[in-house]
């Protein structure tokens, strides 16, 4: 597959949809969790979406429970949490795996196109990375991938990189 538009995923209602519907937009794909120390990034992600959505920008949120079980709810509970607690209005898809044998093909592609460059460190990371067979695996919740209007992966942001860094990158390609 050559772009993200070739992938199908499940939306928040469990219906299979194609990412082709986002063709021509600048896309930020995140893997998220509702009970993570990085969850407050929603406070900055929603305003980022609001500021640029009319210029062809969208955030696609994919909850993942692979990191310390920090997204334990079902898809409906996760959506309700994000919309009521943080006012999230960008698309939240069905929960999926980002690493391992059950990893979503979309995230396998994203990791291949934007490998891990290092720099992200957490106490728990040492324990988790020993379980990983792939150095490019997602290390934690709120890893972000920036996609250009042609569906090509431009950049990977680790969870500890602030949303301001992401905003600057988005502004450059809008």
Q: List, in order of start, the domains of the chain with CATH numbers.
A: 4-173 (3.40.30.10)
**pLDDT tens-digit profile of 152-172?**
999 999 998 889 999 999 999
Whether 36 sits among the annotated catalytic residues: the reply is: yes
Sort 62 into a burial class: Cβ within 10 Å, 0-12 / 13-18 / 19+: buried
Contact 12, 30 (CB under 8 A): no
Give the strand pairing for 153-157 and 26-32: unpaired
CA–CA distance, 104 with 116 (Å, rounded to integer): 17
For the stretch 76-133, pLDDT in tens is 999 999 999 999 999 999 999 999 999 999 999 999 999 988 766 654 454 444 445 5
Choice among 4, 27, 28, 36 that is catalytic: 36
Sign of CA dihedral 46, 86, 64, 140: positive
User: pLDDT for 3-32, tens place per residue?
Assistant: 999 999 999 999 999 999 999 999 999 999
Residue 125 CA to residue 98 CA, distance in Å, equals 15
Whole-prediction pTM: 0.92
DSSP annotation string for 51-107: HHGGGTEEEEEEE--TTTT---S-HHHHHHHHHHHH---S-BB-----SSTT--HHH
């Amino acid at each position: 597959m050559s772009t993200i538009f070739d992938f199908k995923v499940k939306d928040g209602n469990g219906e299979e949809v194609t990412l082709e519907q986002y063709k021509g937009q600048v896309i930020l794909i995140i893997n998220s969790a509702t009970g993570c120390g990085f969850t407050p990034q929603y406070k900055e992600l929603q305003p980022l979406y609001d500021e640029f959505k009319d210029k062809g920008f969208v955030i696609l949120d994919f909850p993942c429970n692979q990191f310390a079980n920090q997204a334990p709810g079902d898809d409906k509970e996760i959506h309700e949490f994000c919309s009521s607690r943080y006012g999230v209005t960008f698309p939240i898809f069905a929960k999926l795996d980002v690493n391992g044998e059950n990893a979503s093909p979309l995230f396998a592609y994203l990791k291949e196109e934007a490998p891990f460059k290092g720099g992200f460190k957490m106490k728990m990371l040492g324990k988790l990375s020993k379980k990983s067979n792939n150095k490019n695996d997602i290390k934690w919740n709120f890893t972000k991938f920036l996609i250009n209007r042609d569906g090509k992966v431009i950049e990977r942001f680790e969870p500890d990189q602030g949303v301001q860094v992401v905003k600057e990158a988005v502004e450059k390609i809008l």
